Amino acid sequence: MIDLRHPLAVLSSRMPWQEIEARVAQVFSRKGRAGMAMPDLDLFGEQVQRAAAPSNAGRPRVPLRIMIALLYLKHAFNESDEGVVERWGETPTWQFFSGQAYFEHHRPCDATTLIKFRQLLGEEGVEELLAQTINVAVELKLIKPQELTRVIVDSTVQHKAIAHPTDSRLLETALAKLVEAAKDAGVELKQTFAKEGLRLSHKAARYAHARQFKRMRRAIKRQRTIVGRLQREIDRKASAIGAAVREALGETLNKAHRIVAQSGQRKAADGQPKLYAWHAPEVDCISKGKAKQPYEFGVKVGIASTFKGNLIVGARAFHGNPYDGHTLHEQLEQATILMQDSRAKPATAFVDLGYRGVDADNPDVHIVHRGKAKRISEQERRQLRRRQAIEPIIGHLKADHRMDRCHLKGKRGDRLHAVLCAAGFNIKWLMRMIVRKGVSFLRSVFLCLQQASGLGRSWVAAAMAWASGWQSPARLRVLPLMLTDTSMFAG
């Protein structure tokens, strides 16, 4: 039903599925439940028995290999959670990659199962998925182990799935959330300002479009007054009702207070970062010096790739918008952990000028950038030209592997998403290299045909040398026909 020469079919037999399952299976072990003491006296005294209760086991689990394959396929082919499970039920090659022996025209699981599976995997689990792609590349000899010692490190911004933050929009959201929280907590408000709040929001948007900024600031000032009045009223009435209600409304009131405070001044208060999204308080405002996009809202992500081959060996999210140089140590530490199965670690790092002044923090790594033009050798000066090779890698991560917009929740979601995007990039990289080399599939074909037809070992060895000596598409197409029609070699 499928072409076994397809790179994804070849990769399915080269991935160490049993090892991956063994390393991540510990987070899915079932927790034992303790028994309950029941007053049941008999000849031997009171005994501990389990109380009768309905089973919470639920339906059988989806096989672990299918769930891992779904994460790989999602980021390799730029699909959403809903899209990958729908496409899996219609694509035989994807099911073969997931370990299925027969094609089944149905979804493997619900899309929400992938959310729970990611949360259970955690950061160590997704880093294991990325590490195994590196191991496969080394095992198939698609990249030399010594190439892992030279890496290129750069940073980018992983955008969060939020609307562009404006004071008017944030104040409108705070107004709606305060009214909703007060209603849920049973706090009666004198006035909700629903109609006036909506009208002020429309006014501010229209004044901004017409570049009438004095009128726009007047509308925003009124919005700020309304939100501040509601916040103080809810705080006062919640404290009178009880401490439990006040504690339940604490986070909502705190966010509203932050939005009111930051909208009244241009700069953020010392030690208090600005809030750019109600549902994502972890979002940072990052300026990378781009003329087209001066400010980006998300999290800074460090990427490490091999000097030659463009294989990603590290991806980590850094919250708080740190200086690029201060992230280099953690980035190299992650790359060392991911490459430990190959017994390699970064020895030379090629970086840009954003990583200056951190040589003392990384004594075991030789850092090369153009700020050291007079202190590096001529060979390193020539090699430094290849530092720009990581820029198209970042572009492909964003355009083809979902790093352009993160929909996962919280700081943990940002960290998981960055690593999974890198794993999806490496899966596509492995598929491209399998097509380019063409050796992995031919070896398995020769072994199978040798056992089936009883051909001599010397002829098979000669055919392998003939096919691998000149990797031309014509020979690769003719060779399977030659091997299947053995009558032409009867003499």
Q: Which residues lie below 8 Å from residue 223, measured CB to CB, with a gap of 6+?
A: 167, 168, 171, 172, 175, 197, 200, 201, 204, 263
Tell me the mean pLDDT in the region 253-270: 86
131-163 per-position pLDDT tens digit: 999 999 999 999 999 999 999 999 999 999 999
Residue whose pair of structure tokens reads 């598409």 in the numeric block: 473
Single residue among 205, 228, 263 that ends a domain in this structure: 263
460-487 tens-digit pLDDT: 554 554 444 444 444 444 444 444 444 4
Domain count, the chain: 3
Half-sphere exposure in the Cβ direction for 73 (13 Å, CA):
27
Q: Quick check: pTM over 0.75?
A: yes
Q: Which two tokens stand for residue 207?
A: 């004044």
pLDDT value for 482: 46
* CB-based contact 221:142 (threshold 8 Å): no
* Strand 312-318, strand 296-306: pairing: antiparallel
Q: Where does residue 343 fall: left (phi above 0), alpha (psi -120 to 50 degrees), or beta otherwise?
A: left
In-domain check, residue 20: no
pLDDT tens digits, residue range 177-209? 999 999 999 999 999 999 999 999 999 999 999
- Kindly state whether residues 401 and 446 are assigned to the same domain: no
Decide if 66 is inside a domain: no
Residue type, 100: Q
Question: For residue 385, which of 348, 345, 429, 352 has the smallest C-alpha distance?
Answer: 352
Which tokens is 8 given? 């994804």
Q: Which of 228, 263, 298 is the last residue of a domain?
A: 263
For tokens 């990249």, what's the residue? 143
For residue 451, tell me if it sits in a domain.
yes
- Does residue 110 sit within a domain? no
Expressed as residue numbers, the domain containing 468 is 438-485
Same domain, 297 and 423: yes
Decide if 51 is inside a domain.
no
Q: Does 18 map to a domain? A: no
pLDDT of residue 472: 47
Q: Taking Cα atoms as reference points, which of 12, 29, 30, 119 lies closest to residue 66?
A: 12
Residues 152 and 292 in one domain: yes
Element (H, E) at 440: helix 439-453
Output the average pLDDT for the chain.
Answer: 86
Helix or strand holding residue 247 (H, E)? helix 243-248
- pLDDT tens-digit readout, 65-99: 999 999 999 999 999 999 999 999 999 999 999 99
- Contact (Cβ atoms closer than 8 angstroms) between residue 34 and residue 50: no
For residue 29, is it within any domain? no
Instruction: Please check whether residues 300 and 404 belong to one and the same domain.
Output: yes
Q: List, in sequence order, every residue forming a beta bridge with 284; answer none if it has no partner.
A: 298
Rounded Cα distance, 471 and 458, in Å = 21
Q: Are 418 and 317 spatial neighbours (Cβ–Cβ below 8 Å)?
A: yes
Tell which residue, 275, 276, 295, has the closest CA to residue 286: 295
Same domain (yes/no): 248, 295: no
- If asked whether residues 431 and 442 sit together in one domain, one would say no
> By C-alpha distance, which of 425, 418, 430 is closest to 334?
418
* Separation CA 450–CA 447 (nearest Å): 5
**Pair 368, 351: CB distance under 8 Å:** yes
Residues 153 and 172 occupy one common structural domain: no
CA atoms of 368 and 72, how far apart (whole Å)? 33
Q: Do the beta carbons of residue 17 and residue 97 sit within 8 Å?
A: no
Provide the angle, in degrees to the nearest 10, between the axes of the packed helices 111-139 and 17-24: 130
Q: For residues 391 and 445, state if they share a domain.
A: no
Same domain, residue pair 356 and 411: yes
Query: Rounded to 5 degrees, what are φ and ψ at 297?
Result: -115, 110
Cα Dmax for the chain: 101
| Residue 136 amino acid letter | V
Are 406 and 462 within one domain?
Answer: no
Query: Domain check: are 423 and 326 in the same one?
Result: yes
What are the pLDDT digits (tens) for 19-75?
999 998 887 766 555 555 555 545 455 555 555 566 666 778 899 999 999 999 999
Note whether residue 25 is domain-resident. no
160 torsion bin: left (phi>0), alpha (psi -120 to 50), beta (else): beta
- Contacts of residue 74, Cβ cutoff 8 Å, sequence gap at least 6: 80, 81, 83, 84, 114, 402, 420, 424
Please identify, among 213, 230, 263, the residue that sits at the C-terminal boundary of a domain. 263
Going 305 to 306 to 312 to 316, the CA torsion angle's sign is negative
443 and 425, same structural domain? no
